[in-house]
Structure 1
Amino acid sequence: MSVDVVEVREEKAAHATSLRAVWPAILGLSVVFLVEMLDNSVLNVALPTIGRELGASASALQWITSGYSLLFGGLMVAFGAIADRYGTRRMMLIGLSLFALANLMVLAVTTPGQLIAVRAAIGVTAAMTAPGTMALCFRLFDQENLLMRATSLIATVGLTGMAIGPTVGGLVLAVLPWQTLLVMNVPIALLAIGCIRFGIPADDPAKRNRSPLDLPGALLGTATIILALWTATLAVEQGWNSRSPWLAGAGAVLAAAAFVIQERRTAHPIFDFALLKRPAVSASLAYEAALGLGMAVIGFTVTLQLQLVWGWSPAQAALGNLPQVIVLLAAGPLVEKFVDKVGTQRAAVLGASSFLAGLVVYGLLGRQSYIWIAIALALTAAGMRVVATIAGVTVMRGLPEDQTSIGAAMSDTSQEVASSVGLAVTGTIVAAALGGTLIGVGATPGGIHTFENAVTTATLVLAALCAGLIVWAARRAARTPAPTQVEG
């Protein structure tokens, strides 16, 4: 492609006046986010089948899921820093190509160890693509309202994918082998490659981060996040009576301390901590963390309540989550109008309040009847829809142009780590209350009562933590000047 063509494409993208004008790019980025969210949940429903066909142990099944999430969550910051230096679009295209190849490798899997290796490779390649989704979106528009609209659309696709992942997996398994759940990512990745290759301008060398890559900082930051995520996983799987989560947690603390020391000493840190002093950045990360904490308890316990306590089938339980999916889809087109009417900061507070209200409703009334669970799912989905969009746009606007990829990675990572913490808190409280397996929880009135009390406690504890983060974020965001709206 000639330099003139690239310049024309860059000029066109920078002044796009509608989403339709850059629809291939929006489609490609939406597909990338969709696949990332689906991969977090779609394979879980196939674990029993995988265990039977491959003869996998419980430990191997755990690593099939956690191996992906640990590497995906742990490597995003490092790959975000690399993308800022060597090209966000380039990193996205390389990551998508390797992602397709890694998913295709499942066809050669014959042992649990091989599948764990494939899932780890998929996690690494997904981490290569994740930071670029929002960073590339910000290349397409100058107008704040279009950015909000595009971000809302991309987030709607991804969050809906996360919500319907288990349902999609169950439907596919009814007619096709479990390998299909990974192979179907290949044509999706190829579609995204085509859309991004021809719909987004090439990386501009003049806008890249010119500082050398802090490799020790990247390694220490990655180790910190992976160990933190692993600590939460071990706490849920083995409980705090085991030494493993304590050892992993101690490792995370040591790695974090070494990371901070390295970043303060080096002339070119992988992430400038001074950026966290910017109200827009720190407030947005706090909002993202609150969403992660709250969604952890909802996602973990609602299905258990419906199936183990009320005796719903897996299909009925999947349908029980429809209020969340419906609201996520319906609220997407309304976010921009809502923000425009009440203002960014007030919209964030109102959205976060809706999310918090949903948690409280679920914690206090969810055991009474399904209608309260449906209300809770709707409230949390509406709040998440508004806050996720605002936080995503605001954190990117608060960062220098040559650090947008790592900024997006920090946003995703904060939610990922918070979600793991929320899951660990929920799992710990439920396990401590029951003192045994969850399978027979619905067999006796005493077991049901104990489980429901534990869910209430976990939900309200996490709701309190969310409230603290939301209040802090709202006060912090109040120091941020409102963005100038450009009508288009």
Structure 2
Amino acid sequence: MSTVYQNPSIQQVFPLRWWALIVLSLAQFLVVLDASIVNIALPSLGTDLQMNTNMLSWVITAYVLPFGGLLLLGGRLADRYGHRRLFIIGVAGFSLASGVAGLAQSGTWLLAARALQGASAALLAPAALALVAKLFMDPRDRAKALGIWGAVAGIGSAAGVLLGGVLTSSFGWPAVFYVNVPIGLLVIAAIPFLVSKDIARERTSLDMPGAITVTAGIVTLVAALSQIEQGGWTSPVTLGLAGLSLVSLNAFIIIEKRVSHPLLPLAIFDNRFVLGGNLAMLLIGGATTGLFFALSVYMQQVLHYDAMKAGLTQLPLAGALVIIAGAIPAVVARMGMRNTLVISLLLLAGGLVWLAQTPSNATFAVHLLAPTLMIGIGLGGAFVVGTELAVHGVSDNEAGLASGLVNTSQQIGGAVGLAVLTTLSFIRTTDLLGGGALQAEALTGGYSWVFLGAAALSVIGAILVILIVRNHTNGEVID
């Protein structure tokens, strides 16, 4: 099934399409924001709900994991039942889960609400991006719209730390969840006036075995990586979960090759833009999730910034990201998507390596300002071009699939990246403490490994884009 827009105003009247983009982008902003906004709130949240450091990392993972694991299914459901319909259902579920999270009285309660948030986001995110792709059919308009969309994703990641600090300091940690509710209600009220109703086409069977196996594979993979911190690389639990993940993901691939209507038609990866864009977003997701988690905790645990100050220090990064994201479409027109993405990833990596040199007694102006500005520049380009690349050349009847796939790549990258990088941080911190280092120095050393690991992911992403993607600019492919 594919959403069909019969109202000519949606396709022909310029202002209405752009108003629709604003509303859809607002919903996407909430989805990305919620992966990072809780970072600043973690210390106070952990104190109130009696959650240790390991459980605090699961406040992030409990959201990212169902989000990434269910996105492919969400994209297919949107293609089958209607993009607008699934978008509204997703926003409603997300708003409800946010209110429940703000009311949490225990760690278990909060983690359950976060999981519901992630599952709802898996419905709304691919439906929203598919709506954007169908609202903007002209290549130049679509490039501008997807540029704005990618910029919103990047801004959401950066702004989460800023808004989390302001809200936590002013109103307490529940406010980082409550803020989603009125915005979600506004989106639900506005979208019926901007996007016409879905018209169903022939419905195909849903690939539930594929949905079950890919979700199980992703969940057990992240659980195995998270277990390393407690049991080590060779513990029975770690190895058992890793083995179960491998079996589940192999089963998923076998199923997708055999079913008549697969959840993920593997032929979509014949499109080298889609393949390269998704690999880039996978690694960008891992790098940025680890970055914002480690940076926010480092500022509060090591530098002893309060929530407000830690949040405000992200203003330069967010500002640089916004400015660069606005300029990226013009850069792509001149340099091409591949070259722009590669340069952006290398700038991101350079800023992360620079940030890894920050000492335990750092000051913001001397040690943090310049590398975070460089990171913002790199992120602005990477988010915009990575998203545009991942949906380039996709047919209308696979818009939901491609949209779900790029979001899946980013969220799986975030979940796996956070698990790996926080494990490396724990190992490094433990080694330094065992060697007699002071706690502040040991924590700083651990977080520096997170930044270096995130930089390595960015460099790998740049290399893969160079190897896979041909350059593309103004409708031409440049070999």
Q: Structure 2 length normalisation: TM-score?
A: 0.86
Paired residue for 1:402, among 397, 416, 421? 397
In structure 1, the partner of 2:269 is: 276
In structure 2, the partner of 1:122 is: 117
In structure 2, the partner of 1:467 is: 459
Moved more, 379-388 or 240-249: 240-249
User: How many Å separate the matches in 2 of 1:323 and 1:474?
Assistant: 30
Post-superposition CA distance 1:112-151 (Å, at most 9, x none): 4444333332222121111122211111112233223222
User: How many Å separate the matches in 2 of 1:311 and 1:84?
Assistant: 48
Calculate the aligned-residue CA RMSD, in Å: 3.3
Paired residue for 1:415, among 406, 410, 415? 410
Alignment CA distance shift 1:54-1:74 (3 Å): same
Paired residue for 2:247, among 242, 254, 267? 254
Structure 1 letter corresponding to 2:11: A
Post-superposition CA distance 1:396-415 (Å, at most 9, x none): 12322212112112112212
How does 1:229-378 map onto structure 2 within 5 Å? 229-236=222-229, 239-240=232-233, 242-364=235-357, 370=364, 371-378=366-373
Paired residue for 1:426, among 421, 433, 441? 421
Paired residue for 2:20, among 3, 18, 25? 25
Say how many residue pairs are matched: 471
Alignment CA distance shift 1:464-1:375 (3 Å): same
Pairwise CA distance, 1:238: 5.9
In structure 1, the partner of 2:468 is: 476
Equivalent pair of 1:46/1:173 in contact (CA under 8 Å)? yes
Paired residue for 1:218, among 206, 211, 235? 211
Is 1:14 matched with 2:11?
A: yes
Equivalent pair of 2:291/2:450 in contact (CA under 8 Å)? no
Alignment CA distance shift 1:388-1:286 (3 Å): same
User: How many Å separate the matches in 2 of 1:374 and 1:178?
Assistant: 26
Pairwise CA distance, 1:309: 4.1
Alignment CA distance shift 1:327-1:360 (3 Å): same
Equivalent pair of 1:217/1:270 in contact (CA under 8 Å)? yes
Alignment CA distance shift 1:168-1:86 (3 Å): same
Alignment CA distance shift 1:60-1:301 (3 Å): closer
Identity rate of aligned residues, in percent?
Answer: 25
Is 1:190 matched with 2:181?
A: no
Pairwise CA distance, 1:281: 0.8
Post-superposition CA distance 1:189-209 (Å, at most 9, x none): 111112322112333434x7x
Q: Structure 1 length normalisation: TM-score?
A: 0.85
User: How many Å separate the matches in 2 of 1:98 and 1:365?
Assistant: 41
Structure 2 gaps of 5+ residues are: none
Structure 2 letter corresponding to 1:186: V
Equivalent pair of 2:149/2:384 in contact (CA under 8 Å)? no
Equivalent pair of 1:232/1:423 in contact (CA under 8 Å)? no
In structure 2, the partner of 1:163 is: 158
Q: Secondary structure at the match of 1:435?
A: helix
Moved more, 24-33 or 394-403: 394-403
Alignment CA distance shift 1:325-1:236 (3 Å): farther
Structure 1 gaps of 5+ residues are: none
Q: Secondary structure at the match of 2:391?
A: helix
